[in-house]
Structure 1
Amino acid sequence: MPQLNPNPWFFIMLTSWLTLSLIIQPKLLSFITMNPPSNKTPTAPKTTPWTWPWT
């Protein structure tokens, strides 16, 4: 059963994982977010009850 032989697939998985974690991930994490989180406390919107015309 050739699909149980991990010889070629393990090397491919290992190289792709190392490429992702050592080359691509630091480049992606170096970007500055355009929408940084703010320290403002969220305010609840003031809602008024709806008056139904048929009641």
Structure 2
Amino acid sequence: MPQLNPTPWFLIMLLSWLTYTLIIQPKLLPFISTNTPSNKLTSTTHTHSWNWPWT
């Protein structure tokens, strides 16, 4: 069964990951704008319990 032979598939996988990490990823990273983290004030939410008629 030739599909179980890892030699050609491993090389294809390795070359595709190298292409992604070395060529494509550095070109995409400048386009991603990250928001600066900000401190949000945490507000406590008060939940009301339900009044069940049978209890």
Taking structure 2 as the reference length, the TM-score comes to 0.57
Shift in Å at residue 50 of structure 1?
5.8
Q: Distance in 1 between matches of 2:12 and 2:47?
A: 61
- How many residue pairs match? The answer is 52
- 5+ residue gaps in structure 2? none
Find out whether 1:15 has 2:15 as its counterpart.
Answer: yes
Q: Which runs of 5+ in 1 are unaligned?
A: none
Q: Taking every aligned residue pair, what percent have the same amino acid on both sides?
A: 61
Superposition CA RMSD, Å: 2.5
Q: Deviation of residue 26 (structure 1)?
A: 1.9
More helix by share: 2
Kindly provide the CA deviation profile for residues 2-51 of structure 1, in whole angstroms up to 9, marking residues without a partner as x: 11222221111011100111122222322213xx2322232223x36367
